[in-house]
Amino acid sequence: MNAGADIIETNTFNGTSISQSDYGLESWVFEINKQASLLARRASDKVSTKEWRRFVAGAVGPTNRTASVSPKVEDPAFRNVTYTELVASYKEQIAGLVEGGCHIIFIETIFDTLNARAAIFAFQEFFEEVNLKPLPLFLSGTIIDAAGRTLSGQNVEAFYISMSNAKPFCIGLNCALGAPQMVPFL
């Protein structure tokens, strides 16, 4: 933050019970996210001033499973995760991040729009259940090939349209292909 960043994010990439089940850490997900948010918040508060406030974005997602594409080539209808499981997993992550004091919820590295929709639903449901004003929502998609498509097959415009009804503060793309290759899709 001393380098001039206004927003830092928690290091909670794949910090969901779905992803952490690979390591037997499902029961630690809330605490992992809470502590990550607390640490980032402590760092941002340390360098914030009245004139220049710094913020923490609680990083949500992705998971290591996709709701839109079968992991079994021989069975295109098979899914190893349900929408309901995704919502519960994302909601638990969001709860920990909010408890830790983040200022923003940042659903990132969106490679599957259905997964992102589950994260958005979890975000909305969480704030409704706890009766708090929702934090600003940031979304960041991932383009996986030179054709400018997400893993679930959407081009940038379709991705933007499918995310816009969530009324996020911003929608962007990460640098998955590298900066020069991203220019045509901005």
Domain membership of residue 179 (yes or no) is: yes
**The domain containing residue 131 runs over which residues?**
30-185
CATH number of the domain at 108, please. Answer: 3.20.20.330
Reported in sequence order, the residue ranges of the chain that DSSP labels E, i.e. its strands, are 7-9, 55-60, 104-110, 137-141, 170-173
Domain membership of residue 5 (yes or no) is: no
> Is pLDDT of 72 > 80?
yes
Q: How confident is the model at residue 1 (pLDDT cuts 50, 70, 90)?
A: low
CA gap 16, 130 in Å, rounded: 20
Domain count along the chain: 1
Per-residue pLDDT, averaged over 94-98, amounts to: 98
Domain membership of residue 4 (yes or no) is: no
Domain membership of residue 50 (yes or no) is: yes
CA gap 179, 162 in Å, rounded: 24
For the entire predicted model, the pTM comes to 0.93
* pLDDT 10s digits, 127-147: 999 999 999 999 999 988 888
